Structure 1
Amino acid sequence: MSSIDALAQDDSATSAALGQGGIRIRQVTHRFGAVTAVGPIDLDIPPGEFLVLVGASGCGKSTLLRLIAGFAPPTEGSIEVSGTAPAPGRTAGIVFQQPRLFPWKTVGGNVELALKYAGVPAGQRGARRDELLRQVGLDDIAHRRIWEISGGQQQRVAIARASAAEHSLLLLDEPFAALDALTRERLQDDLRRVGSESGRTAVFVTHSADEAVFLGSRIVVLTKSPGRIALDLRVDLPRAGVDPDDLRAAPEFAALRREVGLAVKSAALA
């Protein structure tokens, strides 16, 4: 067997081993014209992992997330999600920086529309809508219009909507960046709980070391453009049955936050 055949066989075995919701990124580079934004990057993300991409503005975090979503193919290299090339709308639920909800519909109506497009039978949508809104703490305001609720509540609706389809992957592009500190912490708490309950693979983009350590089971720090991996860190903090405030106050949390923060600064200056 040639070395090329052996490498292809190894990659195929890796894809199979990753399973449903697993992500395989091989020698991915992406360019906008003559500008290289990302790469080369090699990364395996197993099912159920909550991976946080962190780095300074302009390092290619959002670009890599959009490649994983299938919005564009990489200029070089390959990406597979659950063993196949990603495709918009079929690969993952996505939450953007802005909620992008339909203001003429109610909170529940926005989630029901997502369930309709996900192919959920009409008779099952009501119960599924209620369950998704319960997960994000909005089950008591399903009847309200989007313009009647706060920005934080709108992002909760966006998370519920992204979870409507039974995708095994959830992608989040700095969804809390525009929110005040208190609302941001509350939504971090909710997302951490929802992620633990759902067992879905998640990739979350942020520039905050604090947010990365709180949410992630694994953190990848990217260098300045073109974004490459500067740090790949496993987060071994307890994720179940722990009060969020106690977790944020723990010495282990502070140590990890410092390590990630220093890595981000170093990567931005390299």
Structure 2
Amino acid sequence: MSSSETTAAGAGTDTSRAGTVRLDHVTHRYGRGGETFTAVGPVDLTVPAGEFLALVGASGCGKSTLLRLIAGFERPTHGSVLVSGAAPRPGETAGVVFQTPRLFPWRTVRGNIDLALRYAGVDRARRPERRAELLARVGLEGTEERRVWEISGGQQQRVAIARALAAENPLLLLDEPFAALDALTRERLQEDLRRVTERTGRTAVFVTHSADEAVFLGSRIVVLTRSPGTVALDLPITLPRGGVDSEELRGSREFAELRAQVSHAVKAAAAA
């Protein structure tokens, strides 16, 4: 689907609804004067509330740049980015999970979560209940008093996800959060993230290099061309998302066909 078709597809979406993301003719350049580099664009894209969008492409195609624009960490050179009908505000519009957990190693798990809850404006009296709820969501019950360096890399990333969920904003942005983990831990966290987003109903934008990961997690996949990144493929994923055994899903013919389609699109977009 082309960028214009993507815009048309989102034309009927209420872009002011909490969690809806809209990019209108977004281009972003780095540098000044004659030393500029166009990282991404033009991109027209609407992500409806509650959707899990997997953003896929080769290294350097602008995936992380788009994520930073949606988070409000950067402003587009041209075009506009709206989240819930307004310009994104860094640290407020979305919960963000990076490739590395970026936790405070001198704090316990509880301390890291409580700090996020404090910044989210949660009353001190409500924090223990909210913390317990968040840790249960990511499968870390009973770890509150452990230091960051006392838990595994996979557990640290779970804490990072719980911290991102601490604020009651409707958007979750994830930049290859499982890339550095071993295959088994990565698959377990993918399953956890799938369940968490289904339960909370939050909109999610997930950056990945992996066609397998994109098909497993996404309710929709967008493939970007090589830099400057534009939309090469916009693919809705119709695989069942609730009450399905993950191994059965990954082993299905439909999953294999979608994975092959996305993999081919990534390679073609990188070579074009």
**TM-score of the superposed pair, with normalisation by structure 2:** 0.93
Q: CA contact under 8 A between 1:170 and 1:203: conserved in structure 2?
A: yes
Q: Compute the displacement of 1:16 (Å).
A: 4.0
How do 1:73-222 and structure 2 match up within 5 A? 73-222=75-224
Structure-2 separation of matches of 1:190 and 1:262: 27
What's 1:263 paired with?
A: 265
What's 1:23 paired with?
A: 21
Structure-2 separation of matches of 1:177 and 1:27: 30
Structure-1 separation of matches of 2:112 and 2:39: 34
Q: Compute the displacement of 1:140 (Å).
A: 1.8
Q: Compute the displacement of 1:79 (Å).
A: 0.4
Structure-1 separation of matches of 2:143 and 2:95: 22
Amino acid at match of 1:23: V
What's 1:70 paired with?
A: 72
Deviates more, 1:230-239 or 1:14-23: 14-23
Q: Compute the displacement of 1:197 (Å).
A: 0.4
Against the structure 1 CA distance between its residues 83 and 15, is the aligned structure 2 distance closer, same or farther, given a 3 Å change threshold?
A: farther
Q: Compute the displacement of 1:153 (Å).
A: 0.3
Q: CA contact under 8 A between 2:71 and 2:93: conserved in structure 1?
A: yes
**Count of matched residue pairs:** 259
Amino acid at match of 1:218: R
Q: Deviations over 1:81-123 (max 9, x none)?
A: 0000001011100000010001111112111110011000000
Q: Compute the displacement of 1:263 (Å).
A: 0.2
Structure-2 separation of matches of 1:121 and 1:155: 25
Amino acid at match of 2:23: I
Gaps spanning 5+ residues in structure 1: where?
A: 1-9
**TM-score of the superposed pair, with normalisation by structure 1:** 0.94
Say which SS state the counterpart of residue 28 (structure 2) adopts: strand
Q: CA contact under 8 A between 1:54 and 1:221: conserved in structure 2?
A: yes
What's 1:46 paired with?
A: 48
Amino acid at match of 2:112: N
Q: Deviations over 1:218-267 (max 9, x none)?
A: 00000000000000000000000001111111110000000000000000
Against the structure 1 CA distance between its residues 14 and 76, is the aligned structure 2 distance closer, same or farther, given a 3 Å change threshold?
A: farther
Structure-1 separation of matches of 2:13 and 2:54: 21
Q: Compute the displacement of 1:142 (Å).
A: 1.4
Say which SS state the counterpart of residue 82 (structure 2) adopts: strand
Q: CA contact under 8 A between 1:15 and 1:83: conserved in structure 2?
A: no
Gaps spanning 5+ residues in structure 2: where?
A: 1-7
Q: Give the percent of matched residue pairs that are identical in Structure 1 and Structure 2.
A: 69
Q: CA contact under 8 A between 2:13 and 2:48: conserved in structure 1?
A: no
Q: Compute the displacement of 1:18 (Å).
A: 5.1
Deviates more, 1:15-24 or 1:83-92: 15-24
Structure-2 separation of matches of 1:191 and 1:173: 13
Amino acid at match of 2:88: P
Q: Which runs of 4+ in 1 moved over 3 A?
A: 13-18
Q: CA contact under 8 A between 2:15 and 2:85: conserved in structure 1?
A: no
Q: CA contact under 8 A between 1:155 and 1:175: conserved in structure 2?
A: yes
Structure-1 separation of matches of 2:173 and 2:235: 19
Say which SS state the counterpart of residue 38 (structure 2) adopts: strand
